[in-house]
């Protein structure tokens, strides 16, 4: 997960690198920086957006639940899990970029999303650790997670 500072830097470096390419000037970072600079503003990032709410940069408290379909109070727990963050961010990314995803976000995907959230909310620490290690076999929540994150 990238920090707010890393995200902001990537976006600004994208601008600078685009200028350097225009005037045919060499600069370190090149394509990798441009790609992340393109990725950052168009994809969900529940952790950073929650920080923006807490710091007062986003003043509408309804944005996080609406965009990410999670309770703002649950965001800190979800942010402890890379798998949950990946899935939550994927949902928001698909919602905001329907042209990039041919299947879009369907009612079926929403049910799968909710299945994984329920599993996370009610699983013991040991069960969730096995989930994170992908040692749960054909558990419906794992299958749902794979369907969402592989889009």
pLDDT in tens for each of the 151 residues of the chain?
567 777 777 776 666 666 667 666 666 555 555 566 666 677 888 888 888 888 888 888 788 888 899 987 888 889 889 999 999 999 998 988 878 887 888 899 999 999 999 999 999 989 888 889 888 878 899 999 999 999 8
Has this prediction a pTM greater than 0.75? yes
Q: Are 119 and 86 in contact (CB under 8 A)?
A: no
Q: Which two tokens stand for residue 15?
A: 């601008």
Q: Are 117 and 70 in contact (CB under 8 A)?
A: yes
pLDDT at position 32 is: 57
Measured between its terminal Cα atoms, the distance across the chain in Å is 19
């Amino acid at each position: 997960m990238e920090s707010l500072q890393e995200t902001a830097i990537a976006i600004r470096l994208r601008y600078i690198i685009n200028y350097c390419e225009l005037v045919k000037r060499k600069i370190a970072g090149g394509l990798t920086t441009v790609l992340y600079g393109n990725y950052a503003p168009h994809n969900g990032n529940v952790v950073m957006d929650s920080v923006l709410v807490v710091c007062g940069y986003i003043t509408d408290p309804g944005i996080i639940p609406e965009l990410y379909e999670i309770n703002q109070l649950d965001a800190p727990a979800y942010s402890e899990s890379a798998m949950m963050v990946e899935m939550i961010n994927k949902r928001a990314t698909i919602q905001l970029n329907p042209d990039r995803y041919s299947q879009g976000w369907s009612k079926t995907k929403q049910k799968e999303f909710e299945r994984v959230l329920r599993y996370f909310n009610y699983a013991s620490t040991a069960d969730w650790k096995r989930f994170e290690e992908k040692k749960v076999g054909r558990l419906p929540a794992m299958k749902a997670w794979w369907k969402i994150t592989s889009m």
